[in-house]
Structure 1
Amino acid sequence: MFTDSINFIYIVIFIAPFAVLRFYPFLDKLRISVKTLLLLYFVLILVQASLFCFATRQPFWDLSMTQRYQLTFSIFNSILSFFLVREKIVKQIFVWGIAFSLAGFIMTNANFVESLFFARFTDSVPYYTFTNIISALQIIIIFPFAIKHMKQNVRPALQIASGKSWHIVWIIFILLYSGTFLTTGGLGFDRSDTLYDYLIRIFCFGSIIGSSVIFSVALKQTGENIHLEEKANLSERQLALEREYFQAIVAHIDETKAARHDLRHHLTLLQAYSAEGKKQELEDYIGQYLQTVAEDSTIILCKNYAVDTIVRHYIEKSKRAGIQADVLLNLPEKITIAESDLCVVFGNLLENSLEACTRQKTGEKFITVSAALVGEYIIITIDNSYEGSILKENDVFLSSKRDGKGIGITSVQAVSDKYYGEVKFEFSDQIFRSSVMLKQ
């Protein structure tokens, strides 16, 4: 009975902690709920551990068969995990490689200790006793750092980076695992009873863990640099808008001063026509004057200063590019949502729309902008024409300018989350529709 307990614990230690590492970075990409996943793995571990206890009691069983048993269930669990996660296979291989290598590192250490000391206690201590003890101690020490690494580095890298960078990850695993197999004749953790095999496996698993840490930290830093660049670009756009709006106000003031100066002369002549009763001349002069009055180019689109400024900026750029622009804004002057956040939403969505229309070679180019306060929610919709295909991966829109998520869309989503809102993107018939709802 005691031996069965040791064998049962051995399987639990071999599977449970590393399954946590395998799924932790993909909690938001699971095809099933976390509760269902926990229940599923509870049953799988129970079945695997029970079968292992039963098998080890059979006369045909020996320690060499443990390796094949572990390998069989490892393959099954790996295939199952790939099915349960809705993410690109190369990213899953990356996380699987970290979890498997950490399991290999810990179990290799434990099995090596077992091979050194078990012979002395063969009559009193069941096999895997030392393996369980050493494995548990390592897990207690290493796992807090592993979870922290998954949270701080791996998850951000998975969320931000995509594309060519991930296509080289599997090469690291293949080369190191192949080297280990060729030099020691296998990859099993139990095959570490000699110092040579032990050191080869520790080098293999340690190298993969180290390479994975460096790779994920580098990708995370790349993503952070992109966000900083986008933030700097957004600040520059805001300053440019402020300068443009200020220049427009100054020009409008100068025009107003000149108009007031000229108005005195016009009124003097009009007064003279009226006093002399020259009605026809008066009407003709008024008609001529109205034709010479320039149309006001600084039309106020919205009472809210921030929205009016940024929308007018992009609409004017659109018109200069030959893009049909229609605007209907019905927002009050005072809104509880920060002007900087409104700038993020309108600026990013309009810039994306302008870029899509600019790349369009055929068909009608248009951008339609509408926004209104409905109850306690601000509803924003922006439609634009586009040409070609939309880059999308697992319900995530990818940037057309670089590998990875579209930073502008990600920023809009962040603002929406901040104000307990919702973002929706749809595309059909060469029309891309963006809808944002923000709660005041």
Structure 2
Amino acid sequence: MNENVMAIISQSVSTTVMNLLLFLFYRRIYEPKFQNKTVYIFTFIATTALFITINQISNFLSAPLINTIYSFVYFNLASVVLFKCKLKKTFMYNSLYFLFLVFIDVLSVAFWSVIKGENFQSILSNAQYLIISCITNILIMVLMWLIFISVLSKSELTIIKRNQIVLLGAFTAFAAFVEYNFAVRINNSKDGIIAICILLGFLFLSIFLVYFTGEIIKAYNAKYESELMQVQSKIQFEHYAEINQKYEESRRVIHDIKKHLSVLESLNAIESNKKAGEYREIIENEVDSLFSGFQCSNQILSIIMSQKIMVAESEDIKVNTEVEDIMFDFISDIDITAIFANLWDNAIEACRKVELSERFINIIIGRVNDFVVINFENVFDGVINEHDGKLLSTKEQHEGVGMSIIKSSVEKYKGTLVIDHDENIFKAKALIPLA
């Protein structure tokens, strides 16, 4: 097989890998504009083909500046058109990524220049050396990408990450060694085909390593998110448990006060003091009003509902409730807190972002056949932040943990959480089978 053809194939594979890693890089740091993955697949194929064409034209004209300018313009256009991003931040990231690729190009050629004792021009003008440089370029790109996503993750398992990096470094060195020994021996079509097969084999293995490492990172993140959810749920539960304790203490104190008032009334009755009796009645009514909030058979739910209704009404949110008295004894107190406190917090936070006259929260809780249905409906500003089908918080530096806690708690009891919304109405519906 002609060495020049091999060089073109190697450059094309290198360009394909570079574009793939670019898309994965953007996927990591930006939110996609389009939910349909076909858009990104088609765009990747089309831009890769165009990239390869531009690369060959620049080689034919001996004008590498064409490829350089096109690359930088393409990076910026792809990020702006396909992903939600801020221009300044995008320009900075793209500049870093561009310099990263230039560094790898120079490094891959320089490496073989040192090994062979040749200058840069000799390496670039020799088809065999160019093939080897492209292979080295691919392997270094994949290695650097894997290191990048490993560092990007919030995993604290640094020993495992070091081991991964060492393993990947050894893999890169071995792959470069194998490809080098085959590339320098290309004398006929059979040798060329074998070299291409080896190149594609290492390419597919590299892609698998990118995917596999990404899945490991997702698993790490899921683990830490789960731990975060448990900690937050525990904090919420302890908060409402403390409120419940204070509530019970207050009831005892108020009960004693009412006894004292009763004694006072008896003493005054002897003296036929009507004013004292009327005063006692006023005080007792005021005391009773302190406990006129939401009441149901589940004490924790009563506390949560009472407190959140009070918070909502203080912020001019109209609250409508239709609640069937259900014991919820098949759900632990900590999960009741996790479900209802977070549903309330999400609804109140959403209402804060709309006009006072439009604020409302409707709540329906009841039995339907063999299920408990918990339905929250509230107005919101129409802004939904989603990533990979997962709802995220619209507040900066928040990851939407509240909704994840609700979902996790509902699914613990073999239930389902359904999220729906239209232009300005957000609905969260939990269905939990009765135990």
Tell me, yes or no, whether TM beats 0.5: yes
Q: What whole-Å deviation, never above 9, does each CA across 1:105-154 have from its counterpart, x for those lacking one?
A: 2112124446644566788645623421431342354332123234448x
From the superposition, tell whether residues 363 and 335 of structure 1 become closer, same or farther in structure 2 (CA, over 3 Å): same
Distance in 1 (CA, whole Å) between partners of 2:330 and 2:16 is: 51
Query: Is the Cα–Cα contact under 8 Å of residues 106 and 138 in structure 1 kept in the other structure?
Result: yes
Residue 309 of structure 1 and its aligned partner are, at CA, apart by 1.8
Cross-structure match for 2:298: 304
Query: Is the Cα–Cα contact under 8 Å of residues 21 and 147 in structure 1 kept in the other structure?
Result: no
1:378 to 373, 376, 379: 373
Distance in 2 (CA, whole Å) between partners of 1:330 and 1:337 is: 16
2:417 to 415, 418, 421: 421
Query: Is the Cα–Cα contact under 8 Å of residues 344 and 412 in structure 1 kept in the other structure?
Result: no
Q: What whole-Å deviation, never above 9, does each CA across 1:348-407 have from its counterpart, x for those lacking one?
A: 4434655777899964876543333445463231536x9xx67766786523xxx344x6
Cross-structure match for 2:337: 343
Aligned 1:104-123 pairs, distance under 5 A: 104-113=102-111, 116-117=118-119
Distance in 2 (CA, whole Å) between partners of 1:94 and 1:253 is: 63
Aligned 1:18-57 pairs, distance under 5 A: 18-24=19-25, 26=27, 29=32, 31=34, 33-34=36-37, 37-49=40-52, 52-53=55-56, 56=59
Query: Is the Cα–Cα contact under 8 Å of residues 294 and 302 in structure 2 kept in the other structure?
Result: yes
Distance in 2 (CA, whole Å) between partners of 1:361 and 1:139 is: 51
Q: What whole-Å deviation, never above 9, does each CA across 1:159-183 have from its counterpart, x for those lacking one?
A: xxxxxxxxxxxxxxxxxxxxxxxxx
2:83 to 85, 93, 96: 85
Distance in 1 (CA, whole Å) between partners of 2:326 and 2:301 is: 10
Distance in 2 (CA, whole Å) between partners of 1:109 and 1:10 is: 16
Which structure is richer in relative contact order (CA contacts within 8 A, separation 6 or more)? 1
Residue 436 of structure 1 and its aligned partner are, at CA, apart by 3.9
Matched, 1:437 2:430: yes
Residue 100 of structure 1 and its aligned partner are, at CA, apart by 2.6
User: Matched residue of 2:378: which SS?
Assistant: strand
Which residue identity lines up with residue 378 of structure 1 in the other structure?
V
> Structure 2: which 5+ residue stretches go unaligned?
156-223, 266-279
Query: Is the Cα–Cα contact under 8 Å of residues 349 and 434 in structure 1 kept in the other structure?
Result: no
Number of residue pairs the alignment of both structures matches? 332
Query: Is the Cα–Cα contact under 8 Å of residues 25 and 150 in structure 1 kept in the other structure?
Result: no
Cross-structure match for 1:281: none
Aligned 1:235-254 pairs, distance under 5 A: 238-253=237-252
Query: Is the Cα–Cα contact under 8 Å of residues 108 and 134 in structure 2 kept in the other structure?
Result: yes
Aligned 1:168-183 pairs, distance under 5 A: none
Cross-structure match for 1:330: 324
From the superposition, tell whether residues 95 and 346 of structure 1 become closer, same or farther in structure 2 (CA, over 3 Å): farther
Distance in 2 (CA, whole Å) between partners of 1:136 and 1:29 is: 26
Q: TM-score, normalised by structure 1?
A: 0.56
Distance in 2 (CA, whole Å) between partners of 1:105 and 1:121 is: 17
Matched, 1:412 2:398: no
Percent identity for Structure 1 against Structure 2: 11
Cross-structure match for 2:269: none
User: Matched residue of 2:327: which SS?
Assistant: coil
From the superposition, tell whether residues 148 and 17 of structure 1 become closer, same or farther in structure 2 (CA, over 3 Å): farther
Matched, 1:99 2:101: no
2:308 to 314, 322, 347: 314
